């Protein structure tokens, strides 16, 4: 796979993680407003369930891991370029 393709895939995943974190942040803000002003019917969230905060934190871990992957892929790409340049008769 071409280095640009690898970088593109990681960038797309990073964008997705950032979008999910932003959406979850808004949802958590909405939950806090509900807790402050409960509706008559209420929206009870059973204890022990995977919370929005947990999901937000998990996406944060994913983003951190993808950032690390992106750094490693950049180093690999630079190494590949150097190796190609060394092998080139015009270098």
Per-residue pLDDT averaged across 62-67, rounded? 98
How much is the pLDDT for 44? 55
Per-residue pLDDT averaged across 1-19, rounded? 95
45 contacts: CB under 8 Å, gap ≥ 6 = 31, 51
Q: What is the mean pLDDT of the chain?
A: 87
57 — pLDDT class (breaks 50, 70, 90)? very high
What tokens appear for 81 in the block?
């370029």
15 — pLDDT class (breaks 50, 70, 90)? very high
Distance of CA 5 to the CA centre of its chain: 18
What tokens appear for 10 in the block?
């990681």
Burial of 48 (0-12, 13-18, 19+ CB in 10 A): exposed
How much is the pLDDT for 39? 62
pTM of the model: 0.73
User: Are 55 and 24 contacting, i.e. CB atoms less than 8 angstroms apart?
Assistant: yes
pLDDT of residue 40 exceeding 60, the answer is no
Per-residue pLDDT averaged across 10-28, rounded? 96
77 contacts: CB under 8 Å, gap ≥ 6 = 3, 6, 7
What tokens appear for 68 in the block?
């690390």
């Amino acid at each position: 796979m071409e280095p640009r393709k690898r970088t593109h895939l990681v960038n797309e995943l990073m964008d997705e993680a950032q979008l999910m974190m932003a959406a979850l942040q808004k949802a958590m803000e909405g939950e806090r407003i509900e807790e402050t002003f409960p509706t008559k019917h209420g929206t009870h969230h059973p204890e022990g369930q995977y919370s929005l905060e947990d999901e937000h934190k998990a996406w944060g871990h994913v983003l951190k891991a993808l950032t690390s992957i992106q750094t490693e892929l950049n180093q690999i790409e630079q190494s590949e370029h150097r190796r190609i340049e060394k092998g080139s008769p015009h270098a």
